[in-house]
Amino acid sequence: MPNFFPNLPFTLGAPSMVYGEDLLENAAILSGLLDAIEIVLFHTPAQNNFPSSAEIRELKAIGDKKGTAFTVHLPASLELAAEEEGQRRASLAIALEAIRRFSPLHPGHYILHLPFSKPTLVPDPDLYYPWKPTRAWAQWEKRARPSLHKIREVLEARDSLLIENINYSPRFLAPFLDAGICRLCLDLGHLLLGREEIRPNLEYFFDKTAEIHLHGVDGCREHLSLSKMPFEQVQTIVDFLQQKPFRGLVNLEVFSPTDLHESLSLVTQATI
């Protein structure tokens, strides 16, 4: 790995859709800027961007040449804890197909959303579930476990499955984390959308967290430049990750060149 930021204890990465939607073009550009690329997948009747075997080979060539690590964000539309068994089976099949297809890249992480409510790509600030265990959450957990175990069984590295906190407190994921089924992808922007404090969650889940998603939030808009976050907050987050230190991946989950370069500049400033 080239290690573009040797003064940081963690690895910095970005999603595969910063420079448009072409996966290979993004990989070619991002591999010259960062040490890791998060491949963002979609799989719906209207949108399916699973790459071909030839594209996977090209991605591997880029990664091998540049020393770039890859992670795979499984489709956000998957519903592995859905009440309907058929929906759970269909979602599991898509997840397993994605893992099979990307296995030649040896991804460091597979990131999974585990929805409690209907999945959406648009955040709803009024639909956030603070920590409050109920029978409905216990049933959600029970429905999810069989699929999570099946995913874990096929992974090259059993600890590469990460579940991301979405529109609920990450404490709801504790049963899966404590059982060793997965590790945590802690999305700090989602915490901000839920009006949760960042520092206590970083401390509470530090030993279970393998990847952090960092991006700015403005009202109910997310995945924005870190310039939308007070610099003091960026500084506090980076200081915490340096001092612990955090040895995992920090993904600057933004989707435009301007937002990425602004965010990189702010992280760099925060390390001085």
**Interval 147-204: pLDDT, tens:** 999 999 999 998 999 999 999 999 999 999 999 999 999 999 999 999 999 999 999 9
Residue 251: the pLDDT is 98
Alpha-carbon distances, residue 3 vs 14, 99, 272 (angstroms) = 14, 26, 18
Give me the residues paired with residue 251 across strands. Answer: 13, 213
Give me the residues paired with residue 15 across strands. Answer: 38
Q: Number of helices and strands (H, E) in the chain? A: 9, 10
pLDDT bin (cut points 50, 70, 90) of residue 125 is low
Burial class (CB within 10 angstroms; exposed 0-12, middle 13-18, buried 19+) of 237: buried
Which of these ranges, 130-134, 219-223, 236-240, has the smallest mean pLDDT? 219-223
- Do residues 4 and 33 touch, judged by C-beta distance below 8 A? yes
The token pair that represents 261 in the structure block: 């370069």
- Listing DSSP states for 147-195 in one string gives HHHHHHHH-SSGGGEEEE--SB-GGGGHHHHHTTS-EEEEEHHHHHHTT
**Interval 46-75: pLDDT, tens:** 889 999 999 999 999 999 999 999 999 999
Q: Say how many CA atoms lie within 13 Å of 148 toward its Cβ.
A: 26
**Tell me, what amino acid is at 50?**
F
What number does CATH give the domain 11-270?
3.20.20.150
Pairing of strands 11-15, 36-40: parallel
**Interval 20-39: pLDDT, tens:** 999 999 999 999 999 999 99
Taking the C-alpha atoms of residue 14 and residue 100, their distance in angstroms, rounded to an integer, is 23
The token pair that represents 236 in the structure block: 């506090």
**Interval 78-92: pLDDT, tens:** 999 999 999 999 999
Whether the upstream peptide bond of residue 104 has omega within 30° of 0, thus cis, is no
Helix, strand, or coil here: 38?
A: strand
Single pTM value for the model: 0.96
Percent of the chain, pLDDT > 90? 91
pLDDT at 268 over 60: yes
Give me the residues paired with residue 252 across strands. Answer: 214
- Do residues 163 and 185 touch, judged by C-beta distance below 8 A? yes
What is the domain partition of the chain in residue ranges? 11-270
